[in-house]
Amino acid sequence: MDRIPILKLGHALLVTIQVDMHDRLATALQEDLTEKIVSARARGVLIDISALEIVDSFIGRMLDHIAAISRMLDAETVVVGMRPAVAITLVELGLSLSGVKTALNVERGMALLERRIAETESADGDDDA
């Protein structure tokens, strides 16, 4: 079965989805990403969906689940590159992805993750004092 590559960039993981997602691939991504968050001690996950032209309710729920799992493992999730049609479809499906942060592109998404990680680390440092 095909796998979606997961790259480590500093404290974050980058996932670029370049193929149409089917249910098995989405499930494999969720499992692989969960393992990689733990093994890499990642503090953030950036998911680039700019190549996705359409999404269904399963893919929308998968993105929401990844964000929830990431939060449980102390990592922020940012989805970048969402096309307007994808955003409209998600809203029409009733999937607001409330636990998912979004940014227009990878550069803005990484900047958002870096700010969030820095805020969390400074807050953690304040608790130790």
Q: What is the pLDDT of residues 38-62, one digit of tens each?
A: 999 999 999 999 998 888 888 888 8
| 23-32, 53-62, 118-127: segment of lowest average pLDDT | 118-127
Q: Is the pLDDT of residue 117 over 90?
A: no
10 Å CB burial of residue 11 (0-12, 13-18, 19+) is: middle
The model's confidence at residue 126, banded by pLDDT at 50, 70 and 90, is: low
What is the pTM (predicted TM-score) of this model?
Answer: 0.88
Domains of the chain plus CATH, in order, are 6-124 (3.30.750.24)
Closest listed residue to residue 25, CA positions, set 59, 51, 49:
59
